[in-house]
Amino acid sequence: MGGAMALTLAALAYPGMLGLSKVSSAQDRVIANTQWGPLTEQDRDFVVKVRAAGLWEYPVGQIGLQKGTSPAVKTASQHLVDGHSALDTTCRKIAPMLNITLPNIASPQQQGFVNQLKSESGKTFDTDFANILRMTHGSIFNTVAKIRSTTKNSLVRALADQANDTVLDHITVMEKTGLVDFDQTLFQQTTPPKLPDSDLTPPPPAAGQPEVVLTPPPNATSTPVDVNGVAGGGNSSGSGASPSPTGG
């Protein structure tokens, strides 16, 4: 089982939750000036990454609620569904305000995670579930901190605050399953395999395709960002002026 899990992680892992490869060598380049502050390439990519994360982790949470064989795995699954539905609501609120196009499908790599876990059951499912999710959340944790500490855009900053709390919560509940192989997981976080960009990037939505909505569970405890309350701009209707692209 351990060998199979290691192969799964090596083949599919990293950046997992990210769902988007680095698209430019100048991630701090300002691509739009908005009333909530300048928007950089890494700001835009972060919003897309959070959306893409939910597009695979939310269904994995639903699978875990059905297949999980321990209370701890089922609890972790509940946290995935709850946390990512709230993050998704925030992403769908701020994306049109910042003129960001969101994907409707996760990256091929992320869809691979879903397919892998769909095909498993019993202890194998529980173990791979805990290790894959612990590894992917560990991979994104530093990225969230970087965005939070560097972005000048108040909407992106608010999303980073929410993502930080959610990712830490998900790391914690995965560890509480007692199934995390820390040596293997941390190795995968720090020495990711090289994958082609096409595997790491979620495809753009088809023209006219309805936006996928990750519906909050009836007992939801996670709260989306109150866009109207975000400092640094915005209006009472929650829809701001369109960003002004910059040259370059």
Q: Whats the size of the chain, residue-wise?
A: 248
The pLDDT confidence band at residue 196, using thresholds 50, 70 and 90, is: confident
Tokens 């300002």 correspond to 30
Counting residues of the chain whose pLDDT is more than 90, the rounded percentage is 70
Least confident among 36-40, 114-118, 193-197, 221-225? 193-197
Confidence (pLDDT) at 233: 53
The pLDDT confidence band at residue 16, using thresholds 50, 70 and 90, is: very low
CA–CA gap between residue 62 and residue 81 (Å, rounded): 7
Q: What is the mean pLDDT of the chain?
A: 85
Residues 6+ apart with CB under 8 A from 207: none
Q: pTM for this one?
A: 0.83
Residue range 199-218: mean pLDDT, rounded = 92
Q: Higher-confidence residue: 216 or 230?
A: 216
* Residue 105: DSSP 8-state: S
